[in-house]
Amino acid sequence: MSIIEFRKTSKHFGDLKVLDEVDLSIETGEVVVLIGPSGSGKSTLLRCINGLEQITGGDLLVDGISVRAGAKQLRRIRQEAGMVFQQFNLFPQMTALQNVAFGPRKVRGLPRAEAEAQAMRLLEKVGLAARAHHPPSALSGGQQQRVAIARALAIRPKVMLFDEPTSALDPELKQEVLNVMRELAQEGMTMVVVTHEMGFARQVGTRLIFMEHGKISVDGDPVQTIANPPNDRLKDFLQHV
Ligand code: ADP
Ligand code: MG
């Protein structure tokens, strides 16, 4: 069984069709890199996976559970899919540690000491144990994004969804975030990553998907697809990223 399965999935915003009968199966352990022009539906595709947007046609299964199944199942799906956004969205009044411990305390009712011990291990994993007691405002953008990754991992997701996680970062800070993502991939985490970082796509991606107008127009091996784009639009797109 695929961990994520789009079945003729559509998403409309009013009259605007943003996802157009998408068929896509993602297997455990895949690192899918999603690219495409602005407005092609990449963020919406990710947001449908964890129920931040409701689909309007077809079906979408996450670990066998339909996003249409109801509130209780949707909560389960949200725990299985961790999300990292372009804007880090950390709680400004909490320390890094409290940010990471928050989900497990709130969602899984973990006692504070246990949640914070686990949070500390995750901050170590992303190289930020020394910054654990600082608020987001005392951290660089790259550090904040690594805290956001640790926070998403704290709910023990089966899939990690990344929506342009390095787009808001200065070039020198991008790499520290990409390195954490690379390590996650090497540990076998299933990932769907919207990014313009073609080096990451080639080195870490197991699959590259090019979206246009709410449809998948190319789906292939990253190295081969980037070396030999199968259509002119992708070729043109790659020349501009
Ligand atoms: P991408 O991430 O590829 O840039 P998006 O998924 O964000 O594309 O958006 C796809 C299209 O859907 C765009 O035309 C965008 O304006 C529209 N859209 C996205 N979110 C909403 C919303 N909440 N309400 C109305 N239109 C939206
Ligand atoms: Mg987007």
Contact of 26 with 4, CB cutoff 8 Å: yes
Q: What is the ipTM of this complex?
A: 0.98
pLDDT of residue 193: 98
Mean pLDDT for 3-23 is 98
Please state, for a pLDDT cut of 90, what percent of the chain lies above it: 98
Confidence category of residue 1, pLDDT binned at 50, 70, 90: confident
pTM strictly above 0.90: yes
Q: Tell whether the torsion through CA atoms of 34, 12, 152 and 27 is positive or negative.
A: negative
Give the HSE-up count for residue 210: Cα atoms under 13 Å, Cβ half-sphere.
Answer: 20
And the tokens for 47?
């947001």
Looking from the CA of residue 47, the nearest atom of ligand 1 is 6
Question: Measured in angstroms, how far is the CA atom of residue 38 from the centroid of ligand 1?
Answer: 9
pLDDT of residue 169: 97
Looking from the CA of residue 163, the nearest atom of ligand 1 is 2
Confidence category of residue 114, pLDDT binned at 50, 70, 90: very high
Question: Measured in angstroms, how far is the CA atom of residue 83 from the centroid of ligand 2?
Answer: 13
Residue 18 has pLDDT above 90, yes or no: yes
Residues 217-227: pLDDT tens digits?
A: 999 999 999 99
Question: Measured in angstroms, how far is the CA atom of residue 17 from the centroid of ligand 2?
Answer: 15
Residue with the smallest CA separation from ligand 1 atom 19 is 44
From the centroid of its chain, how far is CA 55? 18
Mean pLDDT for 10-15 is 97
- Amino acid letter for position 25: S
- Of the candidates 92, 101, 194, the residue with the CA atom closest to the CA atom of residue 155: 101
pLDDT of residue 108: 83
Residues 23-78: pLDDT tens digits?
A: 999 999 999 999 999 999 999 999 999 999 999 999 999 999 999 999 999 999 99
pLDDT of residue 148: 98
* Residue of 12, 22, 34, 43 with the most ligand 1 atoms within 8 Å of its CB, for mutation: 43
pLDDT of residue 122: 98
Looking from the CA of residue 214, the nearest atom of ligand 1 is 10
Residue with the smallest CA separation from ligand 1 atom 12 is 18
